[in-house]
Each structure stands twice: as structure tokens, then as C-alpha cells.
């Protein structure tokens, strides 16, 4: 989800940005392996000796493949091409030449889906949008390209009814651009109004995230109530019919998780603003809030749901939140774009990928 701002709260096991830039993230900007995180490369055998190293990412020159191995002092993440199963991403291109039949059992990485809404917000503040193509600067398509080249494995948009930022034209242009990069997932989020559902059925994104919208809201304020929107079942069925995975935006509430599973959703997206606010108060408060998310994620997993998360996540609170069990994906927009104003978009995307990888 697009979030309201980067946390000014306490840091958890992280240095200040000025200290972090020259040492901790220089590798993420310059090293080819680090730039491949989140896109991943598939079908390589991981030698046991690598597991003793502080950190190593295997890379391949074959674009659009996925197999990532990240080894840190705290945990190991290894990635193989996923199977088409409920709550998992569709498979990407096959293994590199000569690697047929080589597989490794592994844990999925936490994927970053960059929300580019704020790029459109800035553009629209200057340039009225046309009826047939996106106009003006900054270009949403160029922002999408930069994010992908920096290693982002996903792009998120939220076309609102008032088109305050992303428009339906933008969504179509991004969908067309992403056809050249099938390893990058496209996530359209929004309320189940008829035009949004029709757009999703037309574009067939990797994922449709259904989000409740309250009149007059600036940004999303809460997840679905378990007794709300009975039409969601029909929308989910329509999305499944065109091959689109469906995620439902919920609070870290056990009843809401059960409700999402009963609807037939593939995933939930946990609304993380309460966690982010607690973390901004203190690390201890953040851990207390985090316990609710752990319980929700565990229940979701037992019900066959994948787990996404978003809203007000940033480089600081992700150091804790990345430990959420069964976490598949985080969607981050506002905090990432706010930092990109001062540090550059590609560099900032790589910073987020490094944090999610455990660096």
C-alpha cells in the first residue's frame, strides 16, 4: 500500500543513514549480485561451502531467471523457481542453458513491490493527463523502468476513482511495458468498483489486491471488516478466471484472516500502519504490535493463504518486520519515494532490497 511517510522513530540494529551509505549499502549499489536480489536467478546448485560465508548471492547472465541465495550471520534465504500453487507467484523463465534438472529446495525471498503512485502525484500536480497516454514529468514509465533495472521484482499501482495519481491510462502503459520483463510482477490494488474490476480483467495483472476505500480518505486507513463487501467473492472468482492472483487487505485480526480464506482469496495483505506507528514510539512497542502480525501470518499460512504486507513500512521498521513468518511480499511507495528524492530512485530500491535480504 502507499504509505504516508518514513518513520522518524527508533532504529533497530541499524546505523544512521549517513553512516550506512558508505559501508553498508555501497555493495547494494555496485555489486551485480546485490542488484539481482528480488529478481533472482533460477536453477543453480548451491555448494555447501557457501553456507559458511557471511553473505553471497549467486548471479547469472541469463535475464529473467530466478534463483537467489543470500547467506547472512542471522539467517539463510535460498530461492528456486516457484510452482504454480495457491499464494505463490507464477514461474518465470526456465533455468539457464545447461542447468536442466538442477534444483534446490529453498525458502522464498521477501519480494519488494514498488508502488509508483507518488510519481504520478508529482506529475499530475503540473500536467493534466490526456485521454490516450500519460503526459508530463516525471514519467511513471521511466520510474517503473528504473525500479526494475535496480532489481525490484514487482510494481504496484492504485488507480483511484478520482485519478489523483495513477490513471487507467498509466495502468495500461505499465502493463504493456512489463510484457518485456515477465519476471516482474504487476499488482493492481483498489476497491472493487466496476471500472477497477473491468481494468483488472482487461490487463490481467499478476495480482489484484482488494482494498476498502472510505469517502474522503487521503490514503488507506484500515483493512476490510470481516462482515463487509459480500461482492468480493464474485470479484475474486472473476480474477481467478483470467489467471490473476487475489490478495485481500486486512488488519492483523484473526477473524479477518479466516474471512479472507473463506472468500477464496489467495493471499492477505496485512495493514501495517499500526505496527509502524508503534515502532516509531519505541522498539519495545513495535515488538508488542509485531506479535499480532505474527499470529495473523501463522493463521493465514495454516489456511493456505500467502502473506503480503504494506503501509508505512520503511528502512528502519523493516529490520523487524522482515522477520514475519511466511512473509511473501511487501508493497512500499511513499517512504521509498520520499527517500529517493534525496538519494536517487535506483539507489533507494537497492537499499530496500538489501534490508529485505537481511543485510
Quote the crossing angle between the two packed helices 334-343 and 345-357, to the nearest 10°. Answer: 120
pLDDT over 50 at 277, yes or no? yes
For residue 5, give the C-alpha cell.
Answer: 511517510
Q: 127 or 15: which carries more pLDDT confidence?
A: 127
Q: Give the pLDDT confidence score for residue 134 in this predicted structure.
A: 67
∠214-185-244 over CA atoms, to 5°? Answer: 65
**157-166, 199-208, 279-288, 350-359: the lowest-pLDDT one:** 157-166
Q: How confident is the model over 244-260, as pLDDT tens digits?
A: 999 999 999 999 999 99
Q: Across residues 262-272, what is the average pLDDT?
A: 96
Q: Give the pLDDT confidence score for residue 25 in this predicted structure.
A: 40
pLDDT over 80 at 192, yes or no? yes
Q: How confident is the model over 61-89, as pLDDT tens digits?
A: 333 333 333 323 333 333 333 333 333 33
CATH topology of domain 111-357: TIM Barrel (3.20.20)
pLDDT over 60 at 301, yes or no? yes
Q: 10 or 273: which carries more pLDDT confidence?
A: 273
Longest dimension (CA), the chain: 57
Domain boundaries, the chain: 39-107, 111-357
pLDDT over 60 at 274, yes or no? yes
pLDDT over 90 at 264, yes or no? yes
The CA distance from 192 to 190, in Å, is 6
Name the band, by pLDDT with cuts 50, 70 and 90, for residue 186: very high
For residue 227, give the C-alpha cell.
Answer: 462482515
pTM of the model: 0.69
**Three-state secondary structure string covering the chain:** CCCCCCCCCCCCCCCCHHHHHHHCCHHHHHCHHHHCCCCCCCCCCCCHHHHHCCCCCCCCCCCCCCCCEEECCCCEEECCCCCCCCCCCCCCCCCCCCCCCCCCCCCCCCEEEEECHHHHHHHHCCCCCCCCCCCCCCCHHHHHHHHHHCCCCEEEECCCCCCCCCCHHHHHHHHHHHCCCCCCEEEEEECCCHHHHHHHHHHCCCEEEECCCCCCCCCCCCCCCCCCCCCHHHHHHHHHHCCCEEEEEECCCHHHHHHHHHHCCCEEEEECHHHHHHHHHCHHHHHHHHHHHHHHHHHHHHCCCEEEEECCCCCCCHHHHCCCCCEEEEEECHHHHHHHHHHCHHHHHHHHHHHHHCC
Q: Give the pLDDT confidence score for residue 310 in this predicted structure.
A: 94
Q: How confident is the model over 157-172, as pLDDT tens digits?
A: 999 878 777 999 999 9
Name the band, by pLDDT with cuts 50, 70 and 90, for residue 241: very high
**7-21, 47-61, 257-271: the lowest-pLDDT one:** 47-61
Q: Give the pLDDT confidence score for residue 74 in this predicted structure.
A: 31
pLDDT over 80 at 263, yes or no? yes
Name the band, by pLDDT with cuts 50, 70 and 90, for residue 55: very low
C-beta separation of 333 from 3 below 8 A:
yes
Residues acting as catalytic residues: 158, 189, 311
Name the band, by pLDDT with cuts 50, 70 and 90, for residue 91: very low
Q: How confident is the model over 96-124, as pLDDT tens digits?
A: 333 333 333 335 789 999 999 999 999 88
Amino acid at each position: 500500500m502507499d504509505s504516508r511517510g518514513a518513520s522518524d522513530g527508533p532504529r533497530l540494529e541499524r546505523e544512521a543513514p549517513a553512516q550506512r551509505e558508505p559501508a553498508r549499502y555501497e555493495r547494494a549499489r555496485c555489486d551485480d549480485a546485490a542488484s539481482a536480489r528480488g529478481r533472482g536467478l533460477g536453477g543453480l546448485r548451491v555448494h555447501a561451502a557457501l553456507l559458511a560465508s557471511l553473505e553471497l548471492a549467486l548471479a547469472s547472465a541469463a535475464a529473467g531467471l530466478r534463483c537467489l541465495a543470500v547467506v547472512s550471520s542471522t539467517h539463510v534465504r535460498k530461492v528456486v523457481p516457484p510452482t504454480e500453487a495457491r499464494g505463490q507467484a507464477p514461474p518465470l523463465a526456465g533455468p539457464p542453458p545447461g542447468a536442466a534438472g538442477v534444483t534446490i529446495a529453498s525458502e522464498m525471498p521477501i519480494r519488494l513491490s514498488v508502488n509508483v503512485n507518488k510519481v504520478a502525484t508529482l506529475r499530475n500536480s503540473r500536467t493534466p493527463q490526456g485521454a490516450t497516454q500519460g503526459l508530463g514529468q516525471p514519467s511513471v514509465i521511466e520510474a517503473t523502468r528504473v525500479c526494475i533495472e535496480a532489481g525490484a521484482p514487482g510494481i504496484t499501482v492504485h488507480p483511484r476513482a478520482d485519478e489523483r495519481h495513477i490513471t487507467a491510462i498509466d495502468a495500461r502503459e505499465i502493463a504493456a511495458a512489463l510484457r518485456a520483463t515477465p519476471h516482474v510482477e504487476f499488482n493492481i490494488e483498489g476497491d472493487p468498483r466496476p471500472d477497477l474490476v473491468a481494468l483488472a480483467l482487461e490487463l490481467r495483472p499478476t495480482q489484484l489486491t482488494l482494498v476498502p476505500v472510505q469517502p474522503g480518505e487521503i490514503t488507506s486507513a484500515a483493512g476490510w471488516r470481516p462482515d463487509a463487501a459480500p461482492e468480493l467473492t464474485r470479484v475474486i472468482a472473476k480474477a481467478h478466471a483470467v489467471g490473476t492472483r487475489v490478495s485481500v487487505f486486512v488488519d492483523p485480526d484473526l477473524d479477518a484472516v479466516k474471512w479472507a480464506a473463506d472468500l477464496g482469496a489467495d493471499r492477505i495483505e496485512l495493514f501495517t500502519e499500526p505496527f509502524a506507528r508503534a515502532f516509531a514510539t519505541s522498539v519495545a512497542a513495535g515488538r508488542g504490535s509485531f506479535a499480532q502480525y505474527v499470529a495473523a501470518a501463522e493463521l493465514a499460512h495454516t489456511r493456505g493463504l500467502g502473506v503480503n504486507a504494506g503501509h508505512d513500512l520503511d528502512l528502519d521498521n523493516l529490520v523487524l518486520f522482515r522477520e514475519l513468518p511466511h512473509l511473501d511480499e511487501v508493497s512500499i511507495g511513499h517512504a521509498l519515494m520520499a527517500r529517493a528524492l534525496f538519494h536517487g530512485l535506483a539507489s533507494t530500491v537497492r537499499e530496500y532490497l538489501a534490508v529485505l535480504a537481511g543485510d
